[in-house]
Structure 1
Amino acid sequence: MALILTVFAVMAAVWLGRYIAADRTMRASIRQAVRVRRGWKRLAQMAGLSVTDKMPTALAALTTTETNKAPKPRVLTPALKVKPDRFGIVARANCLPKVGLEEFQKATPYLADAWRCARVSVTPDGPGQVVIRGVRVDPLASPTEHVPTGKAPEDLATWHLGVDGYAQPVTVALSNVPGVTVAGLPGYGKTSLINKFICDCAPSPEIQFAVADGKVSAAYEGDYADLMHRLFAFVGDDLEEANALFKRLVKLRRERSASIKDVLGVKNMWKVGPSENWPLTVLIIDEAHTYFRDYKGNDAQTKKLAALAAENARLVEDLVKKGRSVGILVILATQKSTGDAIPTFIRDVCPVGLSFAQKTAEASVAALGDDIRNWPDANPVNLQDPNYVGVASMALQGRPGFIRLRTPYVDDTHAAEIAGATAHHTYDPQKLLDYYAASYLDTGVDLDKGDDDTPEAA
């Protein structure tokens, strides 16, 4: 008895210590977890999450034989393990006959009311198990800030975007993805999302970045000024400069295609993954409509701009449609990704699309596809609120429908620190290719036809 009392005393002391050490938000979650555990058996029966077992146990059968009384049926409820976190609770439960995933999902409104949660979700957690996520505080309405660790990511093929409406991490697999589109009204988080991606990946020499920013004329004016040391190329809103950059990357794509089998031993870079000698090359085109605009007019200057815009679209189309297997990824950001902003022959082959707040249903459909009409709760038209700055909608790979997610903000100071500390990882992928694949590039084909951009000039 003394030993049992000692064990309980130690457990109580540990629990009390954690409670005292927690902040106000975490304490509320701890109290919520206690209420959920204490009231689970009663609530499960009231919510239809129980089953009656009329088969007596072996002990009950023996007792019945002795007393000649029929045993009472047992009411079984799923076993529940509950853990608190900053947003609410995470519970794991086992399923019973006639109490499975579907029954748990139907009961979520009742569980949300009983547990005083903003929302509750139920997802499978292996055979015969479910995870119940209850959020007391809405993660989408709580702005978050991200401080880069300065450590190279374990997997460059995984983009950590933020958290969904249940505070669960949202990631996107970039392996074999040729392009990503990011849409949304100005000031709602497009550039911040991209800045976080650069800051998280910058410590790895296995990835290189080029940026075309249509909002500015020079690098020091824009959102990428603090990241310049980690970019191997940057252009502003000048269409000729952008055209030269796109040609430069198309040349890289062609020469990588010509040499990949000899250098890497595979036809698809993603089979071996990015490396320092063959880095994943990311082209970020911010305010993409600047470079693809359909100019109208008969004067010489307008005709020149129209020709440049048309060629820009053709070059970026080449990168998106043919660059995947050689390790080139294009990220296009614009306010409204309709066909006049991002040509449909580019936009429609980008398998990953996000949209921050939009003003019209037409813009939402252009960014996320026509199916967004069937998911009104996730429509980015509903994100036009200052509280939803940094919140986007997207179709998540491997899940039906659409989700909303909160993307964190990265302070400019942190971005500058990361760029400065990782500047020594910045290399021009073309120069790397010239060094490591020079002997394989004598193809007899003029890859630079119509292109004045030479490796020496680069």
Structure 2
Amino acid sequence: MNTAVPGLGAATIPPPLLYAGGALALVLLAWLLVICGRYLSADKGTRASIRQAWRIRRTWPRLARNLGLVTTDRTPTFLQSLTASGNGTGGKPEPRILTPGLSTKVDRYGVVVTVKTVAKVGLAEFQKHADHLADAWACTRVSINPDRPGTLRIRAVRDEPLLIPYTCTPEGKPPADLSVWDLGLDEYALATVLRMDNVPGVCVAGLPGYGKTSLISKLIAALAPSDAVQFAVADGKVSEAHEGDYADVTDRLFAFVGDDLEAANKLFTRLVNLRRARSSAIRRVLGTPNMWAKGPSKAWPLVVLVIDEAHTYFRDYKGSDPTTKKYAALTADNARLIEDLVKKGRSVGMVVIVATQKPTGDAIPTFIRDVCPVSLSFAQKTTESAVAALGEDIRNWPDANPVTMQDPGYVGVATMARQGHEGFTRVRIPYVDPADTARVAADTAPLTADPGLLLDLLTCPHLLKGDDLDTTA
């Protein structure tokens, strides 16, 4: 039975077409409802990003032509060739203008644009027009990097992520991968991590109150739920464990010393002896010369030594009186011991985090500072301090120089070298409430163990080849 359509006289539409049209209308309606639902349920920033993404897609063909991000294809397709020969004119078909296709993904800070490149329009051409894209899309900045083969990833940031503080609540769960440490969000609001496998030393610098200790506390809170990590702290700001910034995590530390140089020297000597013992036993126990080939375990944990206000332990004392000579000998020996750990601790699973305000040679000996593969710096007052923390190359990246981050809005923002890439990036470190850090430390206190005693268990005569290390421990 056919259905007559008013106004069309005898014209009729078969029922199957009516059903298909109705189904299509329902699908479109459902799609619109989903889009509207996502928009209405999003926060204010994400809704602005949704509108921004729509404008980017709508205006892209015209913008691409204006910026020259298109290519002219003068080779006719097979269909065009057939059409031209069929006309009998023998004329060439009009050349085609090829525009890179794109898709978008939004978040509260902006839009991620994935672009499919075309001939002669690739990474270099897009990077050349990064500032023009930022202006056209009303963005603070635009980052352009290669993605999959034949595609580019454009990060368009509308708001300044570095100036938006945010908090992080530790879940109290062991991290899935101990070789990767989460830091925070970079200046494009992208998650930033530190690759820590085979890294023996980290240097953290910056003015007081700008985030050094907060960063370290965040790392402890994140790693504490794992029984494959053990911590020791030397805090040069205090004398006793119940004082200062690490008072809330002492239950999760297998060792702590304050500003007592003799106590610090004993701890550093203890850890160097552990390093030597591990180096001697690693092939026999783990069957490999590098712990990272298997990863940390409960029996052979990653040992993290934090040295806060490091200049306390390395100061070059001058004087001829007995007390000064004693202090000078202790600080010189401290430097020797930490140099041993930083230069030789990588393969046996030991990492030293050295934190100080101004990492010049008088605060951290250069033979320690310069062999730390990873460096981060919060705000600095002088270029000399920035260079000491990050190296001479920071002079070539003025936008990332920590000297420009002395404004209070940059508290909690650090500059670091981009691992695996040239240049530097700035990272907003999330704030972790000390109460949450204390909670995690208290909950995970039973996981605390002396790595020296664990090694003794592993090297006992009864340990047979092939025994489960975690069970043995």
Shared fold per TM-score greater than 0.5:
yes
Give the match for residue 388 of structure 2.
366
Q: Distance in 2 between matches of 1:315 and 1:438?
A: 27
SS state at 1:221 partner: coil
Aligned pair in 2 of structure 1 residues 332, 440: CA closer, same or farther (>3 Å)? Answer: farther
Give the match for residue 328 of structure 1.
350
2:4 aligned with 1:4: no
SS state at 1:324 partner: coil
Give the match for residue 32 of structure 1.
52
2:77 aligned with 1:57: yes
Give the match for residue 381 of structure 1.
403
Deviations 1:203-230 (A, max 9, x none): 1000000000011111222111111111
2:197 aligned with 1:178: no
Q: Distance in 2 between matches of 1:308 and 1:439?
A: 37
- Pick from 68, 78, 94: which aligns with 1:72? 94
Q: Aligned-pair distance for 1:66?
A: 4.1
SS state at 1:105 partner: helix
2:63 aligned with 1:17: no
Q: Aligned-pair distance for 1:41?
A: 0.9
Q: Distance in 1 between matches of 2:462 and 2:335?
A: 29
Give the match for residue 158 of structure 1.
180
SS state at 2:347 partner: helix
Give the match for residue 372 of structure 2.
350
- Pick from 93, 96, 99: which aligns with 2:121? 99
- Supply the AA of the counterpart residue of 2:219: F
- Supply the AA of the counterpart residue of 1:144: Y
Give the match for residue 195 of structure 1.
217
Q: Distance in 1 between matches of 2:84 and 2:287?
A: 74
- Supply the AA of the counterpart residue of 2:78: A
Deviations 1:303-330 (A, max 9, x none): 1111111111111111111111111110
SS state at 2:227 partner: coil
Give the match for residue 315 of structure 1.
337
Aligned positions of 1:264-279 closer than 5 A: 264-279=286-301
Q: Aligned-pair distance for 1:73?
A: 2.2
Deviations 1:386-408 (A, max 9, x none): 01111111112211111111111
Q: Aligned-pair distance for 1:55?
A: 2.6
Deviations 1:46-98 (A, max 9, x none): 11111122233333333333443653322111111011111100010111011
2:425 aligned with 1:400: no
Give the match for residue 411 of structure 1.
433
CA contact (8 A) 2:230 2:304 kept: yes
Give the match for residue 449 of structure 1.
none
- Supply the AA of the counterpart residue of 2:278: R
CA contact (8 A) 1:262 1:440 kept: no
Normalising by the residue count of structure 1, what TM-score does the alignment of the two structures yield? 0.94
Give the match for residue 246 of structure 1.
268
SS state at 1:219 partner: coil
Q: Distance in 1 between matches of 2:200 and 2:83?
A: 70
Normalising by the residue count of structure 2, what TM-score does the alignment of the two structures yield? 0.91
Give the match for residue 117 of structure 1.
139
CA contact (8 A) 2:43 2:108 kept: no
CA contact (8 A) 2:252 2:441 kept: yes
CA contact (8 A) 2:156 2:188 kept: yes
- Which is worse superposed, 68-77 or 134-143? 68-77
SS state at 2:169 partner: coil
Give the match for residue 90 of structure 1.
112
- Structure 2 gap ranges (5+): 1-20, 464-473
Q: Percent identity?
A: 62
Q: Distance in 1 between matches of 2:429 and 2:271?
A: 29
Larger C-alpha radius of gyration, 1 or 2?
2
Q: Distance in 2 between matches of 1:440 and 1:193?
A: 42
Q: Distance in 1 between matches of 2:341 and 2:92?
A: 76
Q: Aligned-pair distance for 1:198?
A: 0.7
Q: Aligned-pair distance for 1:440?
A: 10
SS state at 1:325 partner: coil
Q: Distance in 2 between matches of 1:60 and 1:10?
A: 38
2:323 aligned with 1:306: no
CA contact (8 A) 1:227 1:415 kept: yes
SS state at 1:329 partner: strand
Deviations 1:254-288 (A, max 9, x none): 11112111111111111111110000001000000
- Supply the AA of the counterpart residue of 1:137: D
Aligned pair in 2 of structure 1 residues 388, 440: CA closer, same or farther (>3 Å)? Answer: farther
CA contact (8 A) 1:36 1:115 kept: yes
2:415 aligned with 1:421: no
Aligned positions of 1:261-300 closer than 5 A: 261-300=283-322
Give the match for residue 469 of structure 2.
none
Aligned positions of 1:116-135 closer than 5 A: 116-135=138-157
Count of aligned positions: 441
- Which is worse superposed, 432-441 or 81-90? 432-441
- Supply the AA of the counterpart residue of 2:365: P
Give the match for residue 167 of structure 1.
189
- Supply the AA of the counterpart residue of 2:362: D
Give the match for residue 244 of structure 2.
222
Q: Distance in 2 between matches of 1:337 and 1:125?
A: 36
- Supply the AA of the counterpart residue of 2:66: M
CA contact (8 A) 2:415 2:425 kept: yes
Q: Distance in 2 between matches of 1:60 and 1:170?
A: 49
Q: Aligned-pair distance for 1:247?
A: 1.1
Q: Distance in 2 between matches of 1:106 and 1:220?
A: 55
Deviations 1:25-60 (A, max 9, x none): 111111111111111111111111111222333333
Q: Distance in 2 between matches of 1:426 and 1:45?
A: 62
- Structure 1 gap ranges (5+): 442-458
